[in-house]
A and B are shown apart, each in its own frame.
Chain A
């Protein structure tokens, strides 16, 4: 796989997510809120990576963790 970009992975902590909707503001189409008001990933390819990084930074409770190849992305 040398030379192939390694995909970004998103994980959302459902305990700390407060349902602010900031992630879907910064990266609409990638994130949305479910019926319980908790964030989930709709489509990781729906927006550019920089927007997903802004969404993680903009999460008020830091409930979104981004990793690539097992390492944190900030």
Chain B
């Protein structure tokens, strides 16, 4: 291991992934789905006051709350996300702009959004990403597994040892950051991803990343290479280019959007397989099930359960009038469990379920840009883990652990304590 690799490893070893499941960040809820099912039945569109952060105002004196109309059924959630004229992304811009800059793509409305999206989309198409699979994602997965296997103990905690580490390394790789910069990049990345837990440190890290990416952009402008930052600084559609601040916002957005969600989704996929050994065995026996298994895991336990929009006009939805200016929260997590689409087994993880499009990646013009990258990372992760850790199973006796998927806004396993045949 090089000195840089050791520095990164230490950073993650000292990071308490469990801490972020406490309290307000992810939401302190073990299973929100029974309540979401009740909402779908009884009040599918409902005005609510929600506590975002208890005692979370800057001076700690009061709760931060949000009044919003929550939307629970698949068809209604889909309608809100597809109608970006009636439902703007202004509320997202307000939330994320402070940290990521005013040009953060998830907060843009048309026509700015489409122009920005077209320019960054080229680098994230399925075909453009293929080059990263064998050259980057699989080797990172194998390096993480080498470390686990080198211990020779036949046990691991796959959140801390694997899922938490892989996506940030993938982002650093596709951005083309020099390996010597990885330790500081990872430090800032972790602080930015945890901005809701520690806003001061997160915002400071975001500023450091802005300055750092500005230097990298300058280098790639003069000397383009085969990486995403080179693609972004040279991207051109119909004579339009991204300006510097847009690129700097986008690079920072990749950390929460590309690293946090992916580590959570990958953990949920592993949790589904570990909790259902028959399905894990079926997947190992027939790798052709992998594509459907990935989609089912994302539908069953999406890493992010809600989106935010703001009504631009009075809109009638599910018999409720949403007034212009009101915030709207489509619950994509609830929509992914809608019985009218997935039947009375909608709460279950079943990789043999007949595949059909779900809405965990959103819908409409803001649908997740990273769908192909996320799928690639989830496939490589599970394929390498199942191949290299034989007879993989939960460790029933790990002291003090009660592994479960946790959270109300973001969801992922509290831990994945496993045993395998060393």
Which residues, 4 to 58 on A, are CB-close (under 8 Å) to B? Answer: 18-22, 24-26, 33, 37, 54, 57-58
Whether B357 lies near A37 (C-beta < 8 A) is no
> Residues of A within 8 Å of B, CB-based: how many?
16
When C-beta atoms are compared, the residue in chain A nearest to B358 turns out to be A58
Q: How far is the CB of B360 from chain A (nearest CB, A)?
A: 12
A22–B368 Cα distance when bound, in Å, is 11
Cβ–Cβ < 8 Å partners of B365 in chain A: 18, 60-61
A67 within 8 A of B: no
How far apart sit A24 and B129, CA to CA, in the bound complex (Å)?
A: 14
Q: Are B357 and A54 interface neighbours, CB within 8 A?
A: yes
Rounded to whole angstroms, the CA-CA distance of A70 and B126 in the bound complex is 33
Please count the residue pairs between chain A and chain B whose beta carbons lie under 8 angstroms apart in the complex. 45
Partner of B125, one of A19, A54, A58, A62: A19
- Specify which chain B residues have a CB less than 8 angstroms from the CB of A60 in the assembled complex: 82, 362-365, 367
Q: Give the residues in chain A near B355, CB-CB below 8 Å.
A: 54
Asked whether A37 lies within 8 Å of B82 as measured between CB atoms, the reply is no
Question: Shortest beta-carbon distance, A66 to chain B, in Å?
Answer: 14
- Nearest chain B CB to A45's CB is how many angstroms away? 21
Which of the residues B117, B121, B357, B364 comes within 8 Å of A26, measured between beta carbons?
A: B357
Interface pair B117/A18, CB less than 8 Å apart: yes
CA gap between A62 and B372 in the complex, in Å: 19
**Contact, CB under 8 Å: A37 / B126:** no
Q: Which residues of the partner chain B approach A18 to less than 8 Å between Cβ atoms?
A: 114, 117, 121, 365, 367
CB distance from A22 to the nearest CB of B (A): 7
A22: chain B residues at CB < 8 Å are 357, 367, 371
CA distance A37 to B356 in the complex (A): 24
* B49 within 8 Å of A (CB atoms): no
Provide the residues of chain A in CB contact with B118, threshold 8 Å.
19, 37
- B122 contacts the other chain (Cβ, under 8 Å)? yes
Q: A25-B372, A37-B125, A62-B82 are in contact. Are A20 and B357 (CB under 8 A)?
A: no
Q: Which residues of B contact A20 (CB under 8 A)?
A: 367, 371
Whether B126 contacts A25 by the Cβ 8 Å rule is yes
Q: Is the CB of B356 within 8 A of A57?
A: yes
Residues facing A in B312-360 (CB within 8 A) are 355-357
Check A21 against B372 for contact (C-beta < 8 Å).
yes
Task: Give every chain B residue within 8 A of A25 (Cβ-Cβ).
Answer: 126, 371-372, 375
Q: List 14 A-B contacts (CB under 8 A).
A: A18-B114, A19-B118, A19-B125, A20-B371, A21-B372, A22-B367, A22-B371, A33-B125, A33-B127, A54-B357, A57-B357, A58-B357, A61-B82, A61-B364
CB within 8 Å of A: which residues of B? Answer: 82, 114, 117-118, 121-122, 125-127, 355-357, 362-365, 367, 371-372, 375
**3 cross-chain pairs, A with B, having the tightest CB-CB distances, nearest first:** A58-B357, A60-B367, A60-B363
Given A54-B355, A60-B365, 13 other A-B residues pairs in contact with their CB atoms under 8 A = A18-B117, A18-B121, A18-B365, A21-B126, A25-B126, A33-B125, A37-B122, A37-B125, A54-B356, A54-B357, A57-B357, A60-B364, A61-B364
